[in-house]
Chain A
């Protein structure tokens, strides 16, 4: 055990954990939304994230951004980021909706059990991974760098770097927007109604298929943004990039209380920060062990996660 890194680099470790947690949280929202509405773990969600990273990559290729050396600033940087994110969100959102149509809808209509849907999810996940592996190859592809990763200022020893700040701010802004959407709009009310009781909401005239499509779309959009931010930060992707991240995001969702939007945010951030500290104290190969020990401990005392399980309670 090594506490000197933890004490001397406390600020950096915390901030890096926040950045990691912000990406986890965005992906965790997709698991939580679908679980809240359908009581289904959408295991193919990690591949929706992976497709988002490719969407972001293609966007930069269409814009002919060179691998490095083209550092954009000001308005040009903002426009590039927005364009890249929009493409990633479109790709992920569309694929999430298609995934629901192809892999889940028929099963649901014909009264398939949750287990069949789960198997269908695993199948879809493997299919998407292998399809991309065959199309793009199995090696990493590099994402170009279009912003200078420079330290803007230092807080408690943490270097606040451009890309890290962008990730944390945009992830939180997006989650705030999602929360407002679900709690304040008519469509959001539909989602909440189905989450509470699908049967009653059908009786009340809610179009359940539309609500489910919307749920997948929202989850996909969040995963797409996570994909774009992941690329800006780590600058590489490949077919299997979603596997580990998806598992972590699912963990974050359970940690915060699956089905609960604020829980996803809290779970993601707690997981990211704990991993960061755990890696510093016990060594990088123990990061995941530390994170999962924390998960088990939390679930022992709060079986429904930190904030409990229901989406209705997440209402503002």
Chain B
């Protein structure tokens, strides 16, 4: 086939497709729902890591959204919805190109994600340009909502709110007056630790560790010297666990408090017996202790063969908010964007209602206490 005929054929094919799409939209127009040109079904996308160092975190989130879509389709709705996960590996450097791929698919009307803050900063402006609405269940950097992206919605409390509540918990529940605040020098960990330190007013020790190092002995010596009764650590589970262990082994019996980055079984792997009694704060709700939680958790386990993880239930809510919009015949990006920005949706973990900057109204922070068997007990911080 030479180039000219091939082009002619493809033009004809495109015309046929367009006609077909017209026919479909004309046909469904009577049912009052208008699908984007060229789409027989709609797609809800997940954007975030599926592989790579933080792959586990991303998989937890995408599976929550996937479950919501599967449950929606199981009810045989008029408009079928597909689920598609886009793997960014959690890497901001890959997020730009991947976001371009996402916006090219006209059938994608809503995105659950991006999962992390770093990739959000790259991908969100691209989604904003074409008006593709996103609800992130897990990107918690406070600065994200200051960019005037109209498509931005965040279904969890930010690090700023978490830090404030962590400081409150240390002051009122633990009655900590001598607090050492340590972080891993990352944007996330140091950001949180700075907020906690500021809200506490004074700290007896304040320093950053090198997360790549195995040995924290000089930090342990510093904490020992400070006489701290509470140690707050801003960072992720592997280092949090290692620090908790090295503190306890060296005879420091201060209460160990960390963040949602340490709410992971990896914390127990790293800390061993020192995990018992450690406390983490997180904007994610303890699924087994909320209404409807056990039924959701059972469905999740049945679908994926593992327990609902950190932010799985939040992602489930985000996807369900989009699905509620689609059910209400908001079947284009613009209509769905308007819907999630203005409507209220009562989800599993909380009531979703977004402010003009896309932040959730009435966000909640929970405290989790690690038990000796590695499980956690969650409660709302009041």
Contacts and interface: CB of A to CB of B under 8 A. Distances in A.
B238 A140 contact: yes
B215 A13 contact: no
A279 interface: yes
A112 interface: no
Interface in A285-301: 285, 287-288
Interface residues of A, number: 41
Contacts of B224: 9, 12
Interface size class of B (residues with CB under 8 A): 20 to 34
Contacts of B208: 283-285
B150 interface: no
A141 interface: yes
Nearest to A10: B221
Nearest to A279: B218
B74 interface: no
A236 B266 CA distance: 11
B272 A285 contact: no
A140 B266 contact: yes
A67 B272 contact: yes
Given A140-B238, A234-B242, A235-B245, A284 B272 contact: no
Interface in B212-235: 212-219, 221-222, 224-225
Contacts of B216: 284
A127 interface: no
A142 B270 contact: yes
Given A67-B272, A280-B222, A287 B213 contact: yes
Given A68-B273, A245-B214, A285 B245 contact: no
A18 to B, nearest CB: 11
Contacts of A280: 218, 221-222
Nearest to A8: B225
A13 B273 contact: no
A276 B217 contact: yes
A276 B220 CA distance: 11
A9 B221 contact: yes
Given A8-B225, A241-B214, A285 B269 contact: no
B161 interface: no
Nearest to B250: A159
Q: What DSSP secondary structure best describes chain A's contact surface?
A: helix
A190 B272 CA distance: 47
A4 interface: yes
A145 B242 CA distance: 14
A287 B218 contact: yes
A81 B214 CA distance: 21
B225 A138 contact: no
A5 interface: yes
Contacts, number: 98
A16 B249 contact: no
Nearest to B208: A285
B121 interface: no
Interface string B181-224: 00001000000000000000000000111101111111101101
B251 interface: yes
Nearest to A159: B251
A63 interface: no
A151 interface: yes
Interface in A1-20: 2, 4-5, 8-9, 12-13, 16-17, 20
Contacts of B185: 285
A285 B270 contact: no
A244 B213 contact: yes
A235 B208 CA distance: 22
A280 B222 CA distance: 6
Nearest to A288: B210
Given A13-B217, A284-B218, A5 B242 contact: no
A46 B345 CA distance: 54
A277 B53 CA distance: 32
A284 B273 contact: no
Contacts of A69: 273
Given A20-B215, A236-B242, A142 B225 contact: no
Contact of B266 (A5, A12, A139, A278): A139
A198 to B, nearest CB: 37
A142 B250 CA distance: 19
Interface in B245-294: 245, 249-251, 266, 269-270, 272-273
A287 B215 CA distance: 10
A284 B219 contact: yes
Contacts of B269: 139-142, 236
Contact of A283 (B207, B213, B251, B266): B207
A161 B219 CA distance: 18
B50 to A, nearest CB: 14
Contacts of A68: 272-273
A201 to B, nearest CB: 40
A68 B241 CA distance: 15
Interface of A: 2, 4-5, 8-9, 12-13, 16-17, 20, 67-69, 138-142, 145, 149, 151, 159, 161, 230, 234-236, 241, 244-245, 275-280, 283-285, 287-288
State the 5 A-B residue pairs at the shortest beta-carbon distance, nearest first.
A279-B218, A16-B217, A9-B221, A5-B225, A284-B209
27 contacts: A2-B222, A5-B218, A5-B222, A8-B225, A9-B221, A9-B224, A12-B217, A12-B224, A12-B250, A20-B215, A20-B217, A68-B272, A139-B56, A139-B266, A140-B269, A142-B270, A142-B272, A145-B272, A230-B214, A235-B272, A236-B242, A278-B218, A284-B210, A284-B218, A285-B185, A287-B218, A288-B210
